[in-house]
Structure 1
Amino acid sequence: MNIGELFSKGGFVMWPLLLLSILSLTVVIERVLFWWKILTRERETAGRVLEAAQRDWRSAGDLARSAIDQPIGRFLNAGLELKDQEPDVVQLAMEASAQEELAAMHKGDKILEAVIAIAPLLGLLGTVLGLINSLGSIRLGDLGTTATENVTLGISEALITTATGLIIAILSLAFYRVFQGLIAQQAKIFQKAGNELELLYRKTWSSQDAGRIAKRVNSSAIAPDPSGTSAEAAEPS
């Protein structure tokens, strides 16, 4: 029995199951291509940006902007483009960017969740309708005779929809769990890269802040007093 025969014997419930399978397959293909593009480049991008940030923030920002088509590039760029802001502001910007990127990675989850929940129920509905149709033609006097052969065949055909619904749901669930695992992995990568970049920024900010304080102290030490003489000249000899 080929696929066409199975589809025709499954009844009208096979049409919504076909629609669900197309939706699930479309989401799976799109997500596989999305994750393939990310997983093959993100670690290299994060390593290059963080290495450059140890030497020069401008170079690190250029590298992050060149990888703006990747989630990790947009995430790191959110912090690097605020290089003149306070560390807390940079931290908030990176946290907001991480939440936005992780939310985008959940694209298609609702469709897969719907397919996982609805497909088995549609398959069961098709089987129940098939059983009702098959058993409705049985008379008590036909039990144990050859008249029940068609009923047995009808029952086996009714189970086609249940098997189809379960297959669609199982495959969708498998890919769904894989995608959720990849999202959890991305959250860890974002957290690790963000912590390293924030630490480097806080060190740079602290050294710059200390330089600004020292500059202000030196400027005030040589500033003239209101009498028109410098602080050193005002001291008694």
Structure 2
Amino acid sequence: MNWLEALQSGEQYIEDLMALGGPVMWPLVLVSILLWTLVLERYWFLLVTYPRLLTYWMRIADTEARRTLARAETLLAIRRNLRLIRTLSGILPMLGLLGTVTGIVETFDLIHVFGSSETRIVARGVSQALITTLAGLVMGLFGVGVGYDLHRRANADEIRLGQGLKP
């Protein structure tokens, strides 16, 4: 199997999973992409931009006023988007729960129309409910873990910044 076939197979798997999860999967994916984007931006800032910013501030902060301004602006930059990351991490499990409810409601609607003897109807609705729940929980847990790490790093950088502008 070459890489193109593997890519097409993966794409088909994702399409099938999105279809099985129902309409709530799209908001889950969009919020998850936003979360990943913010997380990557924060790590890029903390690992690449922040040391450069400190070096820059050390070069130009020749007066007490400039040092104070540099500290204030850097403190704001360190904390940027951390609340949004936490918020999105909390929204993802709620979207998963919404998918669970919509899957169960759809199941009861179909049972009402076709009767309870059709097990495929019940299985499809329960499957949709579980897929969205799993997706929301997994994505939310990722966000909580990474959000905690980013918060810990920001606190450590704030402490270092409080001791003076040192990289």
TM-score scaled to structure 2, two decimals?
0.78
Q: Distance in 2 between matches of 1:38 and 1:188?
A: 18
Question: Could you say which structure has the greater relative contact order, defined with CA pairs below 8 angstroms and 6 or more residues apart?
Answer: 2
Which secondary structure does the structure 2 equivalent of 1:12 belong to? coil
Q: Distance in 2 between matches of 1:189 and 1:38?
A: 16
Shift of 1:75: 4.0
- Deviations along 1:140-166, whole A, 9 cap, x unmatched? xx55x4x23421332122221111111
Compute the RMSD of aligned alpha carbons.
2.6
Q: Match of 2:155?
A: 184
Shift of 1:111: 3.1
1:130 aligns to 2:110 (yes or no)? no
Shift of 1:8: 0.7
Residues 74 and 97 of structure 1 are in contact (CA less than 8 Å); yes or no, is this contact kept in structure 2?
no
Shift of 1:113: 2.5
Equivalent residue for 1:14, pick from 16, 22, 25: 25
Q: Match of 1:49?
A: none
1:151 aligns to 2:122 (yes or no)? yes
Shift of 1:21: 1.3
The gaps in structure 2 that reach 5 residues or longer are 1-11
Q: Match of 1:171?
A: 142
What is the number of residues matched between the two proteins? 154
- Deviations along 1:45-74, whole A, 9 cap, x unmatched? xxxxxxxxxxxxxxxxxxxxxxxxx23224
Q: Check 1:15–1:5 CA distance in 2 against 1; reply closer, same or farther (3 A cut).
A: same
The gaps in structure 1 that reach 5 residues or longer are 43-69, 83-89, 197-237
Greater share of helix residues, 1 or 2?
2
Residues 131 and 154 of structure 1 are in contact (CA less than 8 Å); yes or no, is this contact kept in structure 2?
yes
Equivalent residue for 2:93, pick from 120, 134, 141: 120
After superposing on structure 2, the runs of 4+ consecutive aligned residues of structure 1 that deviate more than 6 Å are: none
1:111 aligns to 2:122 (yes or no)? no
Equivalent residue for 1:72, pick from 39, 42, 54: 54
Residues 10 and 157 of structure 1 are in contact (CA less than 8 Å); yes or no, is this contact kept in structure 2?
yes
- Deviations along 1:23-65, whole A, 9 cap, x unmatched? 11111222222222257xx4xxxxxxxxxxxxxxxxxxxxxxx
Q: Distance in 1 between matches of 2:135 and 2:161?
A: 39
Map 1:195-210 onto structure 2 (within 5 A).
none
Identity %: 28
Equivalent residue for 2:39, pick from 28, 31, 41: 28
Amino acid at match of 1:172: G
Which secondary structure does the structure 1 equivalent of 2:111 belong to? coil
